[in-house]
Amino acid sequence: MVPLSWYLILSAVLFSLGVFGFLLKRNIITIFMSIELMLNAVNLSFVAFANYWNMHPRVLADGQAIVPLSGHVFVFFVMVVAAAEAAVGLAIIISVFRTRETLNVDRVNLLKL
C-alpha cells in the first residue's frame, strides 16, 4: 500500500521540473517538451485519484456518487488535446524557423520581421 500523497508528490515534482524547463530553456522545441512534461504530471494525479476513489467510495452532498473512472476519461481527453496541440505547435515552430532561421526564443521577440 502506497500513500496517495507519494503519487501526488511525484506529480508535483514532475510539474515543477516542467515549469523549470519552461522558464530556463531557450530552445523552442525543448520548451514545448517541458509543456508535455507538465501535462503528463497532471495526468498522473488524475489516475492516482481515480484509483483512490475506487478504493474509498464516497457519496457527494447532493446524493451523487463519485464515478472513479472519470479520472481515466479525463486523461484520455488531456491526451487528445495534447496531440492536437503538438500538431499545431510543431507546425508553428516550423514556420517560425522558416522565417527567422533560429529556434532560440530570445531571437523571436518581435512580431514584425
Cα-flanking dihedrals φ and ψ of residue 35, to 5°? -65, -40
100 binds other proteins (CB under 8 A): no
Of these, 57, 61, 106, 110, which contacts other proteins (CB under 8 A)? 106
**Cβ count near 65 (within 10 Å):** 10
Q: Which is nearer to other proteins, 88 or 111 (CB)?
A: 88
Tell me the number of residues near other proteins by CB under 8 A.
Answer: 73
Length of the chain: 113
Question: Which grid coordinates belong to 47?
Answer: 489516475
Site for other proteins in 21-80 (CB under 8 A): 21, 23-27, 29-30, 32-34, 36-37, 40, 43-44, 47-48, 50-52, 54-56, 67-70, 72-73, 75-77, 79-80
Sign of CA dihedral 93, 98, 99, 104: positive
